[in-house]
Structure 1
């Protein structure tokens, strides 16, 4: 607990800088996401440098979420900061350091200028609707096992300030179908419809908003989705919010009126030439059939200092510890996370993070397991740490190394993960880019080694792109000394049918000594 207090003071100490300065503002949009990176489209990237911070615009909130890793004349490849919830079609804001006479945002869709004061809690934003609808299939064809096909349909859109009104609507939902052979026994549902976000926002005043529906509040993202009402009010740089609603069902993520939750939060936000920061402290009580399931306080902080240092931290402290129907005992730290990313010049950046988690105890939902979960042998902390460094020694060459470790307070389930990559873009005479990635993981029961090669190139400029890859995987099971070798061969083609419609097809062969599996994925997406 003492370490939590010290770290909290460290991240809170620079929050009292409130001077406002004029900056040039560019607006972009997320077009594609991988496990670690996001691709952002801008009208022009001349003022953006590798290592710059990009901010995610959600409602009227701007939060540092991306670090530029690579760029072209109109797009950026950016690393997703830990804790950032970035989705396709999200709006991204870049603020240059050099002051200009008037704040402006370039709108890449119509070439007009929009005052950047419209980005924030004090004024309205553009009412342009944007989003996407997609259909995808994922098929696995096995030489020894049954074939499986999944179909996924997604819809996401954001309609801010509809018809120049005070109302905004946003949603993200998907529908999944699974097709398996008739004789296959499976407990998993074959048809699943999930709504992850469906919310109506009303701006009561320029500094106060109401949200009804299902939505994750980015200021308290660890709370998860809330089905109900969220209210927020700004008082200059300070803000306060109330949450009243229900938790999604723990089994199928549908609405469950038995899982009432309510709480509130206060926070401080500052944005000036040298620093952007946002800090939130809140309290939440969750119930199940009218009885207390969990009661805790949460903290979240994110900041960018001097365009070089990014900090994100959060923790959850459980306050309810029921024994014989009474709440007793000391507060219990169930979740703590902190990460720091620092850029050295324009060619080197590194990050370090640490997290510790304990089993969250829901006293009603898990009431048959309470005694076992609270036993000292089971109340263990699962911890992890990660270090990453990226460098760009030459214009077309980038390299990176990372190390992560997972461990528990009882010394079980420890693992070490090592990863390295090198990427060469604009290959002479050949064109395209080539990347090499190596990974090694060791744990108490298994060792794995992975080596992968990938070549990416445009086949028809601005229309057809291709990826070719090869991956070697070795698994060694320490208990039996069994070694499994796998080879993966894959190709992916992406074709732009129109400016906002594209189709992607991926084919892969996974071969071992005893079987061959084929994977075929297709995806059609229409943006609007």
Structure 2
């Protein structure tokens, strides 16, 4: 009996030791961010996690991470045992007596560092963003009284910012055009044209310093056009400065021309508050031709937005160099002035006003044989424009504009009146109906153009169709017979998928005894 009692006591003690122990506590976390060197894991609490502890992947139960540093709710870790980790993966930590973790990868020494939670969640300095579009199109003129003309065009545009999260970016815009001329005695010297409007790379040495090389258009000095060469820009808080050195594209074929050197610099300022944004740039450029000064000028560009309702844009170019009969002067000559303002009164009404004054740009070396003629015609061509858009009712849009072109000698004057009205949803049949009218009067011609267009989409917006009619009257002041033209046209576009579009359009025009057909087709692939 005594032996039986001792056996029962021993059995109870062993049973308590085996089944009475609590399981090791488990802390669950999730991978919040992945870089090339570190894995960031988010926990509710990291109090029981120490530097050097191992973390296991929920899907494999394998030790895959070793802790390098931590905060109160996150840890920074390194991959071990060749595991593959992705953002969002589940991770857990078992709080048990620490065991040495064998690291398969080359050993590295880690200095324990406790980081703030904000540092652990810090986004990468640069994010990759790639946008692009490639298109191919054909344009055919089938004429009843003249030779047919056919044209093929292709365009490629790519904007690749911070490729693979690096400091390098790339952009390009190319245009290729081929004209098929069936006449053997064609006056065309070349029927194949390749235009490179943009082809460059940018290196962001720091978040405030960028270096651009190649052919690029600088938005801060957009009036200068494309620049073949080097551009450097540096920000100092809300101020910035930049410099360019390179070449102008050839004025005839837009190719590279090493004889057209140009260089200059600019400074600017950005003001940004809750209700006001403004950017102003001031610079100076010198352009040369065959080593001699072709043009030297300063420019000013400004854009601003007030309360998200008033938008203002202005640009000005002032030439500060002239060379006539081998005599150079620093005369001031305003060659370009443009000012526009757009005010949004409400969601239903907005108004735009603009004024521009332009003189012919004179390159004193390039056009030295034509200087006398150009200076005799040194008259500013000016223009004003007003445009209004409003929505009187829910399904009705309307608007109109008036523009006037004039100069001091009364040549090249033009008055243009335009108006439109759109019914965005036609009762019973659906679709969209637009009516437009345009009247233009110049020194030699008075034109009146009226048009109607009906548009509708099908297949949940993937298929879009247009039908239109346009009536044109031309009255010539020189005594020529008036001309009446009729245009009948249709467009069809189909979104094959979210990034692939095919469209085709056709138009028949009739006047006098002519019947001409135009066919245009296009395929666009976005990526």
Q: TM-score range by the shorter chain?
A: 0.7 to 0.9
Which has the larger displacement, 218-227 or 426-435?
A: 426-435
Question: In the alignment, what sits opposite 1:131?
Answer: 132
Tell me the equivalent position of 2:162: 161
* 1:519 corresponds to: 518
The number of residues matched between the two structures is: 406
Q: What whole-Å deviation, never above 9, does each CA across 1:465-484 have from its counterpart, x for those lacking one?
A: 10111000111111114211
- Note the C-alpha offset of 1:123: 8.2
TM-score, structure 1 as length reference: 0.75
**Distance in 2 between the 1:471 and 1:477 partners?**
20
Distance 1:507 1:370 in 2: 46
Change (3 A) 1:123 1:337: farther
Q: Partners of 2:146 and 2:460 in 1: how far apart?
A: 40
Q: What does residue 89 of structure 1 align with?
A: none
Q: CA deviation at 1:395?
A: 1.4
Q: 1: distance between equivalents of 2:420 and 2:185?
A: 40
The answer for unaligned runs of 5 or more in structure 1 is: 1-111, 113-121
For the Cα contact (< 8 Å) 1:486–1:512, is it kept in 2? yes
1:467-508: per-residue Cα shift (whole Å, max 9, x none)? 111000111111114211111000100011122101000010
User: Could you tell me which residue of structure 2 aligns to residue 506 of structure 1?
Assistant: 505
Q: Secondary structure at the match of 2:257?
A: strand
Query: 2:107 corresponds to which residue?
Result: none
- Contact 1:467–1:491 at 8 Å: present in 2 too? yes
Partner secondary structure for residue 219 of structure 1:
helix
Query: How far, CA to CA, are the matches of 1:422 and 1:443 in structure 2?
Result: 25
Residue 374 in 1 paired to residue 375 in 2? yes
Q: Say if 1:465 and 1:359 are closer, same or farther in 2 by CA, change over 3 A.
A: same
1:201 aligns with 2:223: no
Change in 2 beyond 3 A, CA 1:188/1:353: farther
Contact 2:126-2:166 at 8 Å conserved across structures: no
Give yes or no for contact 1:153–1:176 (8 Å, CA) kept in 2.
yes
Structure 2 Cα separation of the partners of residues 424 and 126 of structure 1: 43
RMSD between superposed Cα atoms in Å: 1.5
Q: Secondary structure at the match of 1:480?
A: coil
Asked if residue 272 in structure 1 is aligned to residue 273 in structure 2, the reply is: yes
Instruction: Give the aligned partner of residue 471 of structure 1.
Output: 470
**Partners in 1 of 2:236 and 2:184 — Cα distance?**
62
Counterpart-to-counterpart distance in 1, 2:493 and 2:265: 46
Deviation at 1:423, TM superposition (A): 0.7
Query: Gapped runs of 5+ residues in structure 2?
Result: 1-87, 89-122
Cα 1:329–1:233 change in 2 (3 A) is closer
* Counterpart check, 1:289 vs 2:290: yes
The offset of 1:270, in angstroms, is 1.9
Match of 1:428 in 2: 427
- 1:414 paired residue number: 413
Match of 2:186 in 1: 185
- Deviation, 1:329, is 5.3
What does residue 495 of structure 1 align with?
A: 494
Q: Is 1:314 paired with 2:305?
A: no
Q: Is the 8 A contact 1:123 1:206 kept in 2?
A: no
Q: 2:391 maps to which residue?
A: 392
Q: Deviations over 1:386-416 (max 9, x none)?
A: 0001101111111001000001121112110
Q: Distance in 2 between matches of 1:317 and 1:410?
A: 22
**Using CA pairs below 8 Å that are at least 6 residues apart, which structure has the higher relative contact order?**
1
